[in-house]
Structure 1
């Protein structure tokens, strides 16, 4: 039977609130460092002080700055004790607080003289300068990135506590390209992703793929429109509850949100632009709730030209950064080239008619 969208579309804010209602963060798990990148930190331990002692930051002569005050190439200063050569990473010898370049000290047999002054800390990496021992590698609720892993490895940490929601993606035949895109975005966001294939485009086949799930959220891709073979929403209704189908969102109007028991579910359209808009507007806030992520920071820049929008419909605009301004590439309907060339996206609220050129707007980066 042909599906029909409701005569009045559900406001995006209403659909999102229904989707998030009762959703709590998932329990933390421990992952090895290479597996934790892209995940959200949870219960981070304090790192040990690093380096644990003063070390040389460069190859050279380890000296006490106080002992070579006034030394220069024109007025060499004899050294009463033989200088110690250190390589970068060596512990600083007792009583030494600076490292001079090789040509700053002249050694002739048992005699040595300084040809330059030094200052305390010159050429030295102080104890605790990389990690004080009073803070974690990253604050709880923040993204674990390669810099986080660098700190953890230097401190000798082998695993990190993270919240990693488990996502099941059900591909409806005919939407394979879009499914691959969504799965790649999800993995880059640190989710544990499993995919399933519906045997056919009918509601029974899609419902079969929705059975026996062990995950924290479900996303179907394809079959959420109003055509004769769009059966994902019917399948969702058979297994659970449909909270809203037909959203005041462009692109993404035919997306749906629901529940499979206690598991939140989002039915994304099969078109890449509509599915991506549904991911930004619906799935990403859900992932942030499940992972207890701290609020994302937008990038605020003025618009290079105006954006016009229809009142009553939330529209997502794709933007490119150009000359320290946001240049609109597409609004409401997105060509694939616009998706590939976009640096950020902007949600124009349903109550807005758009933004004038020069207006500072908060946009979110396509790739973090």
Structure 2
């Protein structure tokens, strides 16, 4: 297929449709919890109750609350024997339903006195209080979070069924800083990232690093423009079929999309702002399709000031949350400082002129 240079821009929707056409979710894999963070759950896991029985929530004396009515430092309640001492996490003794602090019971030789009342459940973690029986903690299509992993560990689960796309990330010389940015974002999103270096900014060298072996997605960084040393798109054309080069997207208009056999590929620009914008607008939909991820959550807030957008090209606005509004930081052109301070991003379609101040907009969070 003949390359389309950035002077003839392909609408973002058309490029995405071509790239996603026929693409199916990956088969689930069983992964240990150490590799599961950020991955998308392939099934809904029901955990058993935790704790399985009442346990002490703190160190102290295990007693029965009804036996302690009226006890105080002014009216100590004598006991015939010393109550059982429990450590946090230990099973509660039979008949006991509260745990009193160490200084609430006074032991002096054979004399044992309680100096405070107790309430049922005080100092006790009830059976099923942390995880209810058959609770759906891991939900199909949702990311595995650190909190999810905590629940899995305390429930004794060692592996989870997940979808984890394998990303082959190719650094074209001159784009190393951007490559590290994308690699870190990809790992946080649960992708398995394998980084490769092209030997030079030449099509033959880049093509050697661009293969569809043992990966589900190929992304090149740098060399996607039309300069004399920009050869990433030529390398993709040698390896497969370039679907579009030059997208109606700002930042990111020199990005390209391709297919290497059945494996989708995206050429991201070397500039960090353009690469990140194309990652959000083009690569994330790919990752979500491969992962069978549920729709990403959006947050609706009114704009603190208007956003003007050019008709005919999709633009991405960076937003910061401020006093329950979205404050625009940058539109179309992104200073690196705006990238670092952004809380969310908003994709403005090519047929939209922008938004008025005070108008609610649905934005995607930069970090979920």
Bin for the TM-score computed over the shorter chain:
over 0.9
**2:193 aligned residue:** 193
For 1:226, the equivalent position in structure 2 comes to: 226
Residue 301 (1) aligns with residue 318 (2): no
CA contact (8 A) 2:4 2:245 kept: no
Aligned to 1:275: 275
Deviations 1:193-233, CA, capped at 9 Å, x for gaps: 11222222232332232236221011111122222322222
Deviations 1:246-273 (A, max 9, x none): 2111011111111111111111111111
TM-score normalised by length of structure 1: 0.93
Aligned residues: 366
> Map of 1:20-99 to 2, 5 A cutoff?
20-43=20-43, 45-79=45-79, 82-99=82-99
Q: CA deviation at 1:8?
A: 4.6
**Inter-partner Cα distance in structure 2 for 1:177 and 1:42:** 33
1:112 is the counterpart of 2:119: no
Q: Secondary structure at the match of 1:279?
A: helix
Moved over 6 A (4+): none
**Cα RMSD for the two superposed structures:** 2.0
Aligned match of 1:181: 181
SS in structure 2 opposite 1:327?
Answer: strand
Contact kept, 8 Å, 1:44 with 1:160, in 2: the verdict is: no
Residues 70-99 of structure 1: per-residue CA shift (max 9 Å, x gap):
333333333355422222112111001111
d(CA) in 2 for partners of 1:358, 1:139: 35
Q: Distance in 1 between matches of 2:247 and 2:236?
A: 16
List aligned pairs for 1:121-160, cutoff 5 A.
Answer: 121-160=121-160
Structure 1 SS opposite 2:47 = coil
1:211 is the counterpart of 2:224: no
Render the CA deviation track for 1:103-147: whole Å, top value 9, x for unaligned.
333334334333332221111001111122302442122111221
Verify the 8 A CA contact 2:4 2:244 in the aligned structure 1: no
Partner secondary structure for residue 286 of structure 1: helix
> Mapping of 1:312-323 within 5 angstroms?
312-323=312-323
Deviations 1:136-193 (A, max 9, x none): 4421221112212211221222222221100111222222221121112111211111
Question: Structure 1: which 5+ residue stretches go unaligned?
Answer: none
> Is the 1:4–1:226 contact (alpha carbons within 8 Å) kept by the matching residues of 2?
no
Deviation at 1:45, TM superposition (A): 3.7
Secondary structure of the residue aligned to 1:254 is coil
Preserved CA contact (<8 Å) 2:211 2:260? no
Unaligned 5+ segments in structure 2 are none
More deviation in 51-60 or 78-87? Answer: 78-87
Distance across 1 between alignment mates of 2:7 and 2:198: 29
Residue 338 of structure 2 is matched in structure 1 by 338
State the secondary structure of the residue aligned to 1:46. strand
Single out whichever of 297-306 and 243-252 deviates more from structure 2: 297-306
Aligned equivalents of 1:71 and 1:296: distance in 2?
55
Rounded to whole Å, the distance in 2 between the matches of 1:37 and 1:211 is: 27
Alignment check: 8 A CA contact 1:59 1:86 kept: yes
Partner of 1:259: 259
Relative to structure 2, which stretch is displaced further, 122-131 or 296-305?
A: 296-305
CA distance in 2, matches of 1:57, 1:232: 59
Change over 3 Å in CA distance of 1:225–1:6 after alignment to 2 = closer
1:48-81 deviation digits (Å, cap 9, x = unpaired): 3211110111122211112222333333333355
Give the conservation status (yes or no) of the 8 Å contact 2:346–2:363: yes
Shift of the alpha carbon at 1:44?
A: 5.0
